[in-house]
């Protein structure tokens, strides 16, 4: 009897459909820009209310017109992910290279730059040639 209860609990934990503030993905795609602004946080509302500049507007049209599997390259990291971007591939410039991002429903309302980091973690190795005698000592772990 305990096994049946565990199985039903596991079935309930399986992947749920994504919803942003009560809206499913299909409902989000059907929203107008004004209706989308009502459910976004204040910073994103303010950005969209002020309007997109020319570079951002051309990027939005390029992304919405892109075919399935086509990658759109951009330097614009300050564009807000809209529901029409879901399923598209965008290569965002990190300052050194373009990194591809698959747009998922969870990304709606965030900026493109949030998904491509500009800094990387640098892990240093041991001391090199020419190090002083005291810095050559590496403690045993």
Q: What is the pLDDT of residues 34-79, one digit of tens each?
A: 999 999 999 999 999 999 999 999 999 999 999 988 999 999 999 9
| 9 within domain boundaries | no
Task: Please state the domain count of the chain.
Answer: 1
Per-residue pLDDT tens over the stretch 78-125: 999 999 999 999 999 999 999 999 999 999 999 999 999 999 888 877
Domain that holds residue 102: 17-115
| 11 within domain boundaries | no
Per-residue pLDDT tens over the stretch 1-40: 566 666 666 666 666 778 888 888 888 889 998 999 999 9
Euclidean distance between CA atoms 23 and 39, whole angstroms: 9
| Residues whose CB is less than 8 angstroms from the CB of residue 111 and which lie 6 or more positions away in sequence, other chains included | 77, 78, 79, 80, 81
| 132 within domain boundaries | no
pTM attached to this predicted model: 0.74
| 71 within domain boundaries | yes
Euclidean distance between CA atoms 130 and 141, whole angstroms: 24
| 30 within domain boundaries | yes
Euclidean distance between CA atoms 20 and 106, whole angstroms: 8
């Amino acid at each position: 009897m305990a096994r049946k209860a565990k199985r039903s609990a596991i079935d309930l934990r399986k992947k749920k459909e994504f919803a942003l503030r009560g809206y499913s993905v299909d409902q989000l795609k059907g929203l107008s820009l004004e209706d989308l602004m009502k459910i976004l946080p204040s910073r994103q509302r303010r950005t969209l209310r002020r309007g997109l500049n020319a570079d951002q507007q051309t990027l939005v049209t390029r992304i919405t017109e892109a075919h399935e599997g086509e990658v759109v390259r951009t330097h614009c990291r300050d564009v807000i992910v809209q529901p029409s971007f879901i399923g598209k591939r965008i290569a965002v410039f990190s300052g050194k290279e373009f990194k591809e991002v698959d747009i998922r429903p969870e990304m709606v309302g965030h900026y493109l730059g949030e998904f491509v980091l500009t800094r990387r973690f640098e892990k240093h190795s041991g001391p090199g040639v020419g190090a002083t005698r005291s810095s050559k000592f590496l403690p045993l772990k």
